[in-house]
Chains A and B, each alone.
Chain A
Amino acid sequence: MKCRRGMARLLEAVVAAIIVATALSVSYFYLLPANPYVIRGGTDLEKYGFDTLNTLARQGGFDRVIFDASGEIVPNWDQQMRVVLGSIFPTGILFNMTVYNSTISADRFVTLTPLPTNVTISNADASAFLNAGQVSQVTFIYTTKYINAPGKGFYVLVFDLQLARATRI
């Protein structure tokens, strides 16, 4: 009789300890963030992207890349844009840009039409962005100011830029 009571209590103690350890281990996985490496850097990329686009825009950089002197879109503007962005963004920053021409239709709806491209304005393929962990997006609206062609007026361009870091931060 004494041996059975003692053995039962021993078993109780072991089971209780296992339950406590399991509960602590499970709660540990729920308390910690999934990937601390990328959650802090997203805001920095957004600010950096906006700052870079603003710098290019403020003195007519976009006008020079996209349009010619007569206000027409240059055929290889996308290749030029890719070269310019590739030289401005430092090594290790992935970028992908799409440019839309914003127009107002007859029934007063805003229409975004992508500018014609032959190449993607990007320095990496989609899989690189997926592996980066977090992608920041910047939307920048720009009204051209350096085009002075008769009958052309101005363009309202919407720049959609995605940025990511190629390496873990």
Chain B
Amino acid sequence: MDATFEYIAAVLIIFIMLGFTIFTVTSLTTTQLELLGEQQLYPIAQKALDKFILTRGVPSDWGADIFVNSTNLLDFGVASSVPRTDTYDLDANKVMRLVNLSTVVNRLYIDPVVAGTLMGLFQDGRWSYGFRFYMVPALNITVQVLHNQTQRGISIPDQFKVHVENAQGLVARNAEVRVRYFDLYTYVLKGTDDELFGWSFLDASGTTNYLGDAYINFSSVPSPQIIGEPKPGQTSETFLLMVQADYYGLQSNSFYQTDVLPTVNLMLEGQYLIANYTELPDLPKSAIHLDYDVSVLALTNNLNLIIDPAVNVTGNGEADKVLNTGNKDLRIYQLNNTIGQDVVLAGLIVTTRGRSYFALASRPILPVSVDYRSHSFPSAGLRAVTIERYVHIGRNSFVVYFTIWRM
């Protein structure tokens, strides 16, 4: 055989074999690197979630400071700014800054792009990773009225069924249930024109059975405790059942109202209560008395009631400039005292057409506390990683599901 052809054949054989080897090794390596890349989402998700819930952000009390917003927030984190709190304790005010309700526009809402930039997920004008921060109470509590009794000419519930489930939807058996049944009433004493406010309550407790149900029965219902003689026909009552469930250390709250006033929507932001009320077609706005200074009722996770006077600052001062969206139905109230982390409900007594209602704002929002995300959910087939943690606000427990995916 001619040597030239032999050399050519040899070189061809070398190139073919080397090329095949390189192709095979490269394709196998690429597949494994893709798998590694997917698994790298786990440490990235952990770091991002640790940043989210274990750091306080800068400034550390940015949640309650209404002058800190998306443009001047220096670092992001929702951990509690109170010194010496436990791990995974969150700041309720910071959590509320991640919520934007359809009923009350949150001017203090932190743009997810800002949060993503500070967490390193949004860089050079694009998302490197998408994320979703989803937080719900650790216990899902529902209240059902079983029986009413007629007292003072009104039908008042006196028997309740409280159903408790955990965040995975499993019934919580042997959960301890405590309830406080409030009667919130307004009245006018004879000889005066001042409308006064009062409250009374009854306590009860129970334990959930194998179905997760606790039956709470009141032999009598709370009634007004008025000192003096009220004017007839000017006493108005509304009832509120506050529920606390404790499942071996997991604690959550819920509530049940007898009268819901759909015209008033509230949101608690730091030291401010923002009220947005819409006018019913047949109800004049002036009947709702929201233009005055008010008393804000705050309920804690231990079922205690706190009265906090609040000044109507609508149209006045710096707070109004920050919080008021210019909606003519918006009212801003500044509370005299700082709301503590254990406050779960705040509300106003609203009197309209001779009846009193209790307009409520829960903190965090119920039933889904936070659904904060960079985008809508990733498309099907895109690899995403979800990790979960238990977190706490005050004594209440919540479950956080943090999802992250590559863009």
Q: Which of A51-59, A96-104, A111-119, A148-156 contacts B (4 or more CB under 8 A)?
A: A51-59
Bits for B168-201, please: 1 = Cβ < 8 Å to A, else 0: 1010110000000000000000000000000000
**Does chain A have a CB within 8 A of B392?**
yes
List residues of chain B with CB within 8 A of the CB of A16. Answer: 14
A48 x B389 contact (CB < 8 A)? yes
* Contact status A25-B39, CB under 8 Å: no
Stretch at the interface among B29-37, B230-238, B329-337: B29-37
Complex: A37 Cα to B140 Cα, angstroms: 34
Could you say which residues of chain A place their CB within 8 Å of the CB of B389?
47-48, 51
Say whether chain A's binding surface is mostly helix, strand, loop, or mixed: helix
- Name which of B5, B9, B173, B390 has the most chain A CB atoms within 10 A of its CB: B390
Chain B CB count within 10 A is highest, among A55, A58, A88, A169, for: A55
Which of B39, B88, B246 lies at the interface centre, i.e. has the most chain A CB atoms within 10 A of its CB?
A: B39
Q: How large is the interface on B (under 10, 10 to 19, 20 to 34, 35 or more residues)?
A: 35 or more
CB-based nearest A residue for B50: A47
- Nearest Cβ in chain B — how far from A74, in angstroms? 12
* Given A48-B388, A56-B248, A87:B14 Cβ within 8 A: no
Give the size category of A's interface with B.
35 or more
Q: Which residue of A lies closest to B21 (CB)?
A: A21
- List of A residues within 8 angstroms of B6 by Cβ: 6-7, 9-10
The smallest C-beta distance from B158 to any residue of chain A, in angstroms, reads: 30
Residue of B nearest to A17 (CB): B17
Query: Is the pair A57, B13 in contact by a Cβ cutoff of 8 Å?
Result: no
CB under 8 Å from chain B, chain A span 35-66: 36-37, 39-41, 43-44, 47-48, 51-52, 54-62, 64-65
Are A55 and B36 in touch, CB under 8 angstroms? no
- When C-beta atoms are compared, the residue in chain A nearest to B5 turns out to be A6
**Residues of chain B lying within 8 A (CB to CB) of residue A41:** 39, 42
14 new A-B contacts, CB < 8 A, other than A44-B42, A83-B173, are A2-B3, A6-B6, A13-B13, A17-B13, A28-B29, A36-B39, A44-B46, A48-B387, A56-B249, A58-B392, A59-B249, A87-B168, A87-B172, A169-B39
Q: Hey, which bits of chain B sit against chain A, CB under 8 A?
A: 1-3, 5-7, 9-11, 13-14, 17-18, 20-22, 25, 28-29, 32, 35-36, 39-40, 42-43, 45-46, 86-88, 138, 166, 168, 170, 172-173, 246-251, 387-390, 392, 395, 397
Closest partner residue, chain A, to B7 (CB atom): A9
Residues on the B chain within 8 Å of A9, using CB: 6-7, 10
A43 and B25 in contact, given A5-B3, A59-B246, A60-B249 (Cβ under 8 angstroms): no
15 A-B residue pairs with CB within 8 Å: A6-B2, A6-B6, A6-B7, A7-B1, A10-B9, A14-B13, A17-B14, A24-B21, A36-B36, A37-B39, A40-B42, A51-B390, A59-B251, A64-B248, A87-B168
Judging by beta carbons under 8 Å apart, are A62 and B249 in contact? yes
Write out, one digit per residue, whether chain A residues 65-78 have a CB within 8 A of any chain B CB (1) or not (0).
10000000000000
